[in-house]
Chains A and B, each alone.
Chain A
Amino acid sequence: MIARQAKSATLRAAETRAVLTSAINVARALSRRERLARARRAGLGSAGEVLGPLWPLLVYLPLVAGGALPRPEAISPLTYAALGYWTWSLLVDAALAPARGLGTYRAPTVAPVAAVLAGLLDAGRRTAVRTVILWPLAVIAAGGVDPLGSAWALAALGPALALAGGIGLILALWAAPWPDVPAGATTAARLTLLPSLVLFPLPETAWAWAATVLNPLAVFTDAARALALTGGMPQAGAVAAWSLIGAAALTLGLRGFVRLKPRLHDALA
């Protein structure tokens, strides 16, 4: 009996592995197709993708330098904005990737798992480009980073990505019948750029503190940046709380996705 159960579990695992391998191959093909097509259509070609991450800095840094927006005290504004924008973009991309994947690759012939994975691959590629562009700028402007702190910063991004991924999966599931939701969510996410400690600090007031700890984007962006540069972590309690919520959200999102996976095509049709 136990041997039979073990064999059945082994078969299920092999089947799942085969499905996942196939989905990853399809996702890679979809993502590659989209990348090639986008590069052909773009006015600046691949250069447009490289320049993309620099636009927010080019817009906001002059405002910070001119005193129109608050200036960070102990960190160079360029480092502050570059690391802040990198972290914020990573989290927003991770949250929107499943919905974007299902929206972009919503064809009857594409399995929903492959579509979501393709969305994540697209997000990963954009993150890689931003890393290559923004990190050198940040490090040069800061005159170096704390290596141990950087490792802690990357570790802190784990729960942040879990939260983003969990919320993203739930959003993708709910939004499956509405192809316009990912575009709306992208617009809404852009609005969070200003109050999320991404490009400039908020004043030290009670409302700003409340707005920060209630905003996971701000909490994790500020924490990761501070860890990488100084080794210290602001809002540790909020980070811990949001990390727990992130674990719960990811569990919920994955559970929902696995349970709804066979029905997703019906909703996407």
Chain B
Amino acid sequence: MSDTVLTLEDVTKRFATGARADRRAWTRQVWRALVGRGPLPALDLGRGVVKALDDVSLTVRRGEAVGVVGLNGAGKTTLLRLAAGQWAPDAGRVARVGRLATMIDLTAGFSPSLTGRETIPLVGALMGRTRAEMAAATPHIVDFCGLGAALDRPVGGYSSGMALRLGFAIAVHSDPDLLLIDEGLSVGDFPFRQKCLARMMALRERAAVVLVSHALPEVARFCGRVVVLDRGRVAFDGGVEEGLALYRRLAEGDAPEAAASDDGVPGFLKPLFRDEARVDPLAMAWLDGQGAEVSAVPFGAPLVLRLRARLRAPVRALNVGVPLYAPDGTRVTGLASDLAHAPVAAEAGETVAITLALPAPRLNPGPWHGVAVLHDGPGTLARQPLPPLTVTGGPSRHWGHWTPEAAWTVRVEEQGASSLDAVGMTSATSAPSA
């Protein structure tokens, strides 16, 4: 049976909004600690107080991977630091069992003038490991981080990626019972990231993991349970899909209660967004080959997406991305205007008209989904769902999400004969042999 590794019971944490109030309160608290009797009251933070966590309870057991998601300021990092014992709760109780490892700041404890090799035992000791344990772990850390000769150079000369690799290697070789991660199961380049993920999956088997992240696919793949924090409170604690769906709705600005209701927009299209100060709602329509607005088209027929955006603020590098999704949420393709057309500049009050022509999309029959994402350079102005579109007709049998235009040649080879009967067929009227 899984044993409990981390317990938070009715935990509340507040912070003063101003540094002066905080410091005055601290001086009073020091005086009480020195000469007062009885237990110390919670720090009096004065008038300007913000509750980072409000009455939060959470239990994590060995073998569990819990993803904690929430908007910025929801209390995720506060929860992690309380769980790590770095901060004390103002009310409630935090209890931990076993060895703790944190991946909150991977380069904590690094000194720029020390070499990577000198850093390993020092940071290990800061994580509570003994000299003998670090001596045994060091060859594995050296091998894992793959920094080679660079380990004998001062870490001050490392690139940020190299420093993160070293920090990650030390953290994941600390054999924890509880691992607290703030953003990111992996660091470095692609091959190293795969190595990190493999190591994390191994750790997940024997430790309890709490992962705070905004990377929802990472949470979905790694965690078996999701906690959604909203303004310091637990808005949801349960299954991954439901939790992430709620988070996406929160990201769109819905209250948790409202977010629980179904708005008809598939979860994989979210989060939706519009910067109201910069752009009006996007006007979009699907057009057929004759320019008529449609919501259903025959298989293979030409399609045009028309998009009009009235700007409320100037833009410097406007471009559009349109990912298309099958009904099951699979992203089948994505089309980006800046691959074919340079981003455009426009002034406030102007309307930008954009068309995306698909001469022969050959999407398989069924309902199709997508979003139009309007960018100004790297920033997003709006992310809105496309109008409904259903593809009808098409091949009598089809597989997957689209059927490309193709030609078949089927022939029967006769023994000793060099000429063959050949039949050419298009894919729309043929089917692969089972």
- Residues of chain A having any CB pair with chain B under 8 Å: 22, 25-26, 28-30, 32-34, 36-37, 40-41, 107-111, 170, 173-174, 176-178, 252-253, 255-256, 259-260, 262-263, 265-267, 269
Chain A min CB distance to B376 (Å) = 37
CA distance A36 to B117 in the complex (A): 13
Check if B113 sits within 8 Å of A174, measured CB to CB. Answer: no
B138-163 residues with Cβ-Cβ distance < 8 A to A are 154
Check if B34 sits within 8 Å of A170, measured CB to CB. Answer: yes
Q: Chain A residues near B122 (CB, 8 Å)?
A: 29, 32-33
Residue of A nearest to B32 (CB): A259
Q: Chain A residues near B112 (CB, 8 Å)?
A: 37
Residue of A nearest to B89 (CB): A262
B19, B33, B86, B126: the one contacting A256 at CB < 8 Å is B33
Chain A min CB distance to B100 (Å) = 10
CA distance A170 to B109 in the complex (A): 27
Q: Chain B residues near A111 (CB, 8 Å)?
A: 85
With contact pairs A28-B125, A177-B23, A260-B29 given, residues A266 and B113 touching in the complex (Cβ less than 8 Å) = no
B2-59 residues with Cβ-Cβ distance < 8 A to A are 19, 22-23, 26-27, 29-30, 33-35, 40, 43
Beyond the given A109-B126, A262-B88, could you list 18 further A-B residue pairs with CB under 8 A, ordered by the A residue number?
A22-B128, A25-B125, A28-B125, A29-B125, A34-B111, A37-B113, A40-B113, A108-B81, A109-B105, A109-B108, A173-B34, A253-B34, A256-B30, A256-B34, A260-B40, A263-B40, A263-B43, A267-B26
Residue of A nearest to B40 (CB): A259
Q: Chain A residues near B26 (CB, 8 Å)?
A: 176-177, 267
CA distance A259 to B86 in the complex (A): 16
> Is B194 on the interface with A (CB-CB < 8 A)?
no
> Is B118 on the interface with A (CB-CB < 8 A)?
yes
Q: Chain A residues near B22 (CB, 8 Å)?
A: 177
Residue of B nearest to A41 (CB): B113
CA distance A45 to B65 in the complex (A): 48
Q: Chain A residues near B118 (CB, 8 Å)?
A: 36
Residue of B nearest to A30 (CB): B126
Residue of B nearest to A114 (CB): B126
> Can you spell out 14 A-B residue pairs with CB atoms less than 8 angstroms apart?
A32-B122, A37-B111, A37-B114, A107-B108, A108-B81, A109-B84, A109-B102, A111-B85, A173-B30, A174-B27, A177-B22, A253-B34, A263-B40, A266-B88
CA distance A253 to B88 in the complex (A): 21
Chain B min CB distance to A4 (Å) = 20
B interface residues, how many (CB within 8 angstroms)? 35
B293-344 residues with Cβ-Cβ distance < 8 A to A are none
Residue of A nearest to B15 (CB): A266
Chain A min CB distance to B9 (Å) = 16
Q: Chain B residues near A259 (CB, 8 Å)?
A: 33, 40
Q: Chain B residues near A32 (CB, 8 Å)?
A: 122
Q: Chain A residues near B23 (CB, 8 Å)?
A: 177-178
Check if B109 sits within 8 Å of A107, measured CB to CB. Answer: yes
Check if A26 sits within 8 Å of B34, measured CB to CB. Answer: no
Q: Chain A residues near B128 (CB, 8 Å)?
A: 22, 25-26
Check if A36 sits within 8 Å of B29, measured CB to CB. Answer: no
CA distance A173 to B27 in the complex (A): 9
With contact pairs A36-B118, A40-B113, A259-B40 given, residues A110 and B126 touching in the complex (Cβ less than 8 Å) = yes
Residue of A nearest to B154 (CB): A40
Check if B114 sits within 8 Å of A173, measured CB to CB. Answer: no
Check if B109 sits within 8 Å of A266, measured CB to CB. Answer: no
A26, A176, A178: the one contacting B125 at CB < 8 Å is A26
Q: Chain A residues near B126 (CB, 8 Å)?
A: 26, 29-30, 109-110
Which of B34, B109, B112, B114 has the most chain A CB atoms inside 10 A of its CB?
A: B34
Residue of B nearest to A267 (CB): B26
Q: Chain B residues near A256 (CB, 8 Å)?
A: 30, 33-34
Residue of A nearest to B24 (CB): A177
CA distance A82 to B40 in the complex (A): 45
Q: Chain B residues near A267 (CB, 8 Å)?
A: 26
> Is B408 on the interface with A (CB-CB < 8 A)?
no
Check if A265 sits within 8 Å of B125, measured CB to CB. Answer: no
CA distance A173 to B109 in the complex (A): 23
CA distance A259 to B104 in the complex (A): 27
CA distance A41 to B156 in the complex (A): 12
> Is B130 on the interface with A (CB-CB < 8 A)?
yes
CA distance A178 to B19 in the complex (A): 11
Chain B min CB distance to A257 (Å) = 8
- The contact string, 1 if C-beta is below 8 Å from chain A, for chain B 53-90, is 00000000000000000000000000001001111100
Check if B86 sits within 8 Å of A265, measured CB to CB. Answer: yes
Check if A266 sits within 8 Å of B33, measured CB to CB. Answer: no
Check if B111 sits within 8 Å of A36, measured CB to CB. Answer: yes
The 8 closest A-B pairs by CB, nearest first: A29-B125, A262-B88, A40-B113, A259-B33, A256-B34, A256-B33, A37-B111, A108-B86
Q: Chain B residues near A174 (CB, 8 Å)?
A: 27, 30
CA distance A269 to B13 in the complex (A): 14
Chain A min CB distance to B223 (Å) = 24
B19, B27, B88, B114: the one contacting A36 at CB < 8 Å is B114
Q: Chain A residues near B27 (CB, 8 Å)?
A: 174
Chain A min CB distance to B121 (Å) = 8
Residue of A nearest to B14 (CB): A266
CA distance A41 to B113 in the complex (A): 7
